[in-house]
Amino acid sequence: MIELIKGDITKITCDAVVNAANSSLLGGGGVDGAIHRAGGSEILADCRKIIARQGGCKTGEAVITTAGKLPAKYVIHTVGPVWKGGSNGEDAQLANCYVNSLNLALKNGCKTVAFPNISTGVYGFPKERAARIAVTAAQEFIQNRSIGKIIFVCFDDENYKLYQNILSSPT
């Protein structure tokens, strides 16, 4: 099942919240900063352990930490691509963010996963293109694996309407 919500991802009750992280995993602006602020120091402490072990997170990959004070069990941090015009593998990297996050969620027993709009803020990925990639990745994943619910959480009206149109149109 795929659900669409307009709201604040830090307030969503679910098994795993996905963070649109940067490769350093040390927090930043946008969704990343909001998740670190709302979740508290436990998230950063877990991120530092990951950094010590593997040196951060590469674009398209995902790592998992505690959710700290968030109403979730875990935060899955994934690094979306910076938009460079579309001919540098950005679409595949963005799809990998969703697939790798969902695989990590399943591996950790998660049945509900909430996603923000990855790479559409300061990373500059075109919003409609990103939404189509996100929805396609989620629909394909749900067909082949047992995950209860994927929630797309849109902070603004523009993204919410894009997702609403894509999810309501026939495939």
pTM as predicted: 0.95
Q: What is the pLDDT of residue 67?
A: 98
- CATH label of the domain that carries residue 119: 3.40.220.10
Residue 58 has pLDDT above 70, yes or no: yes
Kindly tell me if the per-residue pLDDT of 171 is higher than 60. Answer: no
pLDDT above 70: residue 138: yes
Q: Which residues contact 6 (CB under 8 A, 6 or more apart)?
A: 153, 154, 155, 156, 157, 160
Is the confidence at residue 125, as pLDDT, over 60?
Answer: yes
Task: Provide, rounded to the nearest whole percent, the portion of the chain with pLDDT above 90.
Answer: 89
Answer yes or no: 32 catalytic.
Answer: yes
Q: How many domains would you assign to the chain?
A: 1
The b-or-e profile of 9-35 (16+ CB within 10 A means b, else e) is bbebebbbbbbbbbeebebbebbbebb
Length of the chain: 171
For residue 141, give the nearest of 90, 104, 166 by alpha carbon: 104
Please, which residues bridge with residue 153 across strands?
Answer: 5
Q: What percent of the chain has pLDDT over 70?
A: 99
- pLDDT tens for 15-48 read 999 999 999 998 888 899 999 999 999 999 999 9
Which residue in the list 8, 32, 91, 157 is annotated as catalytic? 32
Domain span at 75: 2-168
